[in-house]
Amino acid sequence: MKELNFYGASDDLLECRGAICEEISCLNQPSYFHLKSAEGELKVVGTYLNDGTWALGVAPAEEDRAIPAWASSFSTCENGYSPILTLTVPDDTTLFVDEDI
C-alpha cells in the first residue's frame, strides 16, 4: 500500500504528493486526478472557491462504478486554505490527469 496526499496550492494548482507526485493547472475550473488499480478506480476532484479556499472530494470513475473502499482521511493543509485528502491505495495504483485519459 502507498499513501497519496491531495490538496490545493495557490489559486490554480491541484497537487498530489507522496508515493506519486503530480500537479494540475486548474485556474477557474474544477480539475481531477483519475486513480486506477486492479482493486478499482476513482477520481479526486478539486476546485478553488471564490472565498479563497479549496474544496476537495471524490467521485466515481464513471456511472454505476463503485468507489473502492480505500482508507482515507481529511485534515487541514499547512497552507491554511485547503483541506488535504490522504488516501492509502494499492501499490499498483496509477494516477492520470484529465488530459491523459
Residue 28: pLDDT band by 50, 70, 90 thresholds? confident
In tens, the pLDDT along 52-64 reads: 999 999 999 999 9
State the CB neighbour count (10 A cutoff) for residue 65.
11
pTM of the model: 0.93
R_g of the chain computed on alpha carbons: 13
Residue indicated by cell numbers 474544477: 30
CA end-to-end span of the chain, whole Å?
24
> What pLDDT does residue 101 have?
45
